Amino acid sequence: MYFRHIYEDGLAQASYVIGCQASGEAIVIDPRRDIDVYLDVAEKEGLRIRYVTETHIHADFLSGARELAAATGAELLLSDEGGSDWRYQFPHRGLRGGEVIELGNLQLTILHTPGHTPEHISFLLTDTPASPHPLMLFTGDYVFVGDVGRPDLLEEAAHMQGTKEPAARTMFRSLRLFRELPDFVQVWPGHGAGSACGKALGAVPSSTVGYEKLSNWALQIEDDDRFVRELLSGQPEPPPYFARMKKLNKEGPGILGSLPHPTRLALTRFHQLWQDGVLIVDTRDKLAFAGGHVPGSLNIQDTRSFSTWAGWMLSEDQPFVLIADERRIDDLSRALIRIGLDDVAGYLPNLRQWTQMGNPLTVLAQITAPELYARLRSNEVQVIDVRAHSEYIESHIPGAIHIHAGHLVHHLDEIPRHKPVVINCLGGYRSSVAASYLQAQGFTQVINLTGGIRSWWAERYPVETGDEVSAMPA
């Protein structure tokens, strides 16, 4: 048997290649859209990809199942569970709970494991020459290491009202199946720490059924009402692109055929696009951006969070240009196509020519925690906390208004224009995204808190908890 765990850090997303070396065949579970990694594995190991499958209709990334099937001639095997509203709308062979996929000497038994979504399935793998007992369970967004899949995305992201509580109760019932499995079965989930598909995902890539029975919070609760309350509380805010991913993955993502490579732009063309109002996405470090950037540009730094924040802040129908290091363009393009942002209008590798030709730059003012403390005591500034709600209620700067960075577009009228506003997050990444967005929307007195609320905590300045906003103590 051949096994390969493939992990994409940006979306904390796992996919799997399982092969029977006796027959030379392989199956790929939950592939991402840039499929060359699976083609390379198959070629290196001398395997033919016979089947492509996935655990459910994904919301957090654009599936590569159709792409990989088209490139290899593999058969698409997809869930037909959950009812007619949850059927894939492109050609495939349907899978139902209890069916078995034969792959040479390997058997994958289909388990219907709803809760995260109605059509969700898991794959229980048996390596028959080694043992008649199952070896691995590929759980997708059913059971994670230390957590279970959130049941509220259909309501919170896809706006299907009244679905999250029934889905949570379905998850409670669905976990009975997990509890019945042998303790020695390995658990290989679809996501790890950092994914928005749960609230307490572990950082290690895999676990066992037995360990999860002992340690996973969701498997310690026997009362269904308490389980529902616990599961629905404290879930992270889902990015708006989740609804679009769900729709596209159900209907069938367009097939790329090859990876796009954005065009390097001449300065004159870049300047014209900027004048035409095309959005500039500056991927440089937040301090470099603060020191001088193209007016109206949005700072989404080139880190592992790039694709997540691109999903929060960009739209598939809004053209944009990148400012990014030449050596990073291919990786950034991959990050973008994974969430369906395929059409980058081009890129500029740096701002050297821009500044040499006398074009304008804007700075993003910075403030330290001691400076902010002094100005808050005299009521000179308004703090906007752009972290998640759960972070804000745990501890925030007194007087800070909470607006999640990704929701600023809907709350601009709540932000004062007559006085300076200081933007804070935990360490500075999200606040730079938010501050640059506010600048692009015409706010002229925007300041970023250097070091985020961590720097405030380090000075042992006062904090508040909960949702109430009150003035800075004297």
C-alpha pair distances (Å), 45 with each of 6, 21, 78, 138, 196 = 15, 9, 25, 21, 33
- pLDDT at res. 471: 66
pLDDT at site 470: 67
Residue 395 CB-density burial (10 A; 0-12 exposed, 13-18 middle, 19+ buried): middle
Q: Which CATH number fits domain 267-356: 1.10.10.10, 3.40.250.10, 3.40.630.40, 3.30.460.20?
A: 3.40.250.10
Ranges of the chain with pLDDT below 70: 470-474
Query: Could you tell me the residue ranges of all domains in the chain?
Result: 2-251, 267-356, 365-458
Q: Are 339 and 314 in contact (CB under 8 A)?
A: no
CA distance between the termini of the chain: 68
Structure token digits, residue 396: 């925030």
What are the residues whose beta carbons fall under 8 Å from the beta carbon of 73, sequence distance 6 or more?
Answer: none
CB neighbours (10 Å) of residue 136?
21
Q: Which of 308, 311, 430 is nearest to 8 (CA)?
A: 308
Q: Given CATH 3.40.50.20, say whether it is the number of domain 365-458.
A: no
Class of domain 2-251: alpha beta
Cβ atoms 420, 381 nearer than 8 A: yes
Q: Are 166 and 186 in contact (CB under 8 A)?
A: no
Residue 77, strand partner residues:
53, 93
Please give the pLDDT value at position 474: 59
pLDDT of residue 444: 96
Question: In sequence order, what are the residues at sequence separation of 6 or more whose Cβ sits closer than 8 angstroms to the Cβ of residue 176?
Answer: none
Task: Tell me if domain 2-251 and domain 267-356 are identical in fold.
Answer: no
